[in-house]
Amino acid sequence: MKTLKEALTNVLSSLNIAEKKEILNVLYHILQKIIENPSRAKFRSLKKDNKTFVNK
């Protein structure tokens, strides 16, 4: 099992700067919402232009 740090490093190493920024902004938004209200955290797919970014 990989750690979150290892997984992010693997994903981010193959992306250009714009893609890295987009991924990190999405992760920031998700974590911010979880921290604000952890009891309402929902785990579902995030889609943009019919591409799935995060799966359950």
Residue 27's pLDDT band, with cuts at 50, 70 and 90, is confident
pLDDT at site 48: 60
CB 53 within 8 A of CB 46: yes
Asked whether the predicted pLDDT for residue 20 surpasses 60, the reply is: yes
| In the chain, where the domains are located | 4-54
In which band, very low, low, confident or very high, does the pLDDT at 49 lie, cut at 50, 70 and 90?
low
Task: Quickly count: other Cβ atoms within 10 Å of residue 24's Cβ.
Answer: 13
DSSP assignment string, 2-33: --HHHHHHHHHHTS-HHHHHHHHHHHHHHHHH
Contact 52, 45 (CB under 8 A): yes
